[in-house]
Amino acid sequence: MAHGRDWMPTRREDVLAMAHAWINTLPSLKPILEVTDAEISELTDLTEDAERAQAAWLQNRGDRVLAARARQAFAALTNFMRTLRRRRFFFYPLTPAQWLSLNLEPPDTTRTEHIEVSEVVEYELRLRNIREILINFWVKGSENRAKPVGYDGAVIIWQILDEPPDGPHNLTEHTMASRTPHALEFREEDRGKTVYIALAWQNERGNLGAWSEIQSAIIP
């Protein structure tokens, strides 16, 4: 992130320490965050895999294959942690102590124009090509389509479901759209199914605004 500090540690030892804090703490937070046993199990497996890969590389730092394996293992671990944090940690309130138990700083609740994301996404869905849905989005109430100054763009979450979701927390697929329009591409076997979509603005500090209304479309 060019502006603001990334919450993910840069040192591998610190990444592993954070991962272990999550593994130890998340079971007690399951009633609050709705974290699943499968998610905790996957986090545990990825953490152990990263530890093994790191240990093997440390024993032979000149081995390029082991170095690549360690990079791959840590990339898989950090990607999963980023997804889990976005998917679970912001839909339900955590106390400062609970944030710290996860080796994370509590969110900054200071209300300033540079920190608080007050804008809401307004958008429309269009069918352009087969297996593709085009999303045109803008600031709700604005006449231009530019993203707000100092923002990364809009986070798009979606899920193919048989019935409407209870809320955004049911939409687990996600991507960042830095400009509009943004095209979501699907597989051939998804054609004819219903996808549910919501968006929220994200600023350069990584803070999310409120989720939009959920819309749906049939994948062409």
| Phi (first) and psi of residue 202, to 5 degrees | -130, 130
Residue 108 lies in a domain: no
Question: Which amino acid makes up residue 70?
Answer: A
pLDDT tens for each residue of 30-66:
888 888 999 999 999 999 999 999 999 999 988 999 9
pLDDT value at position 150? Answer: 77
Q: Are residues 90 and 171 in the same domain?
A: no
pLDDT value at position 4? Answer: 42
Residue 109 lies in a domain: no
* Calpha distance 45→132 (Å, rounded): 34
Q: How much is the pTM?
A: 0.52
Residue 5 lies in a domain: no
Q: Tell me the residue range of the domain where 64 lies.
A: 12-101
Q: Which residues face 138 on adjacent strands?
A: 122
Q: In what order do the strands lie in the sheet containing 182-185?
A: 121-127, 132-139, 182-185
Q: Are residues 132 and 204 in the same domain?
A: yes
Q: Are 137 and 122 in contact (CB under 8 A)?
A: yes
Q: Are residues 152 and 94 in the same domain?
A: no
Residue 116 lies in a domain: no
Which stretches of the chain drop beneath a pLDDT of 50?
1-4, 111-114
pLDDT value at position 203? Answer: 84
pLDDT value at position 109? Answer: 54
* Calpha distance 83→79 (Å, rounded): 6
CATH code, domain carrying 177: 2.60.40.10
Q: Are residues 152 and 194 in the same domain?
A: yes
Give the single-character DSSP code of 72. Answer: H
Q: Are residues 214 and 128 in the same domain?
A: yes
* Calpha distance 80→158 (Å, rounded): 17
Q: Which residues face 185 on adjacent strands?
A: 132
How far is CA 77 from each of CA 7, 16, 49, 53, rounded to the nearest angstrom?
14, 9, 9, 12
- Element of type H or E holding 65: helix 64-88
pLDDT value at position 70? Answer: 94
In the chain, what is the straight-line distance between the N-terminal and C-terminal CA atoms, in Å? Answer: 36
Q: Are residues 125 and 209 in the same domain?
A: yes
**Tally of domains in the chain:** 2
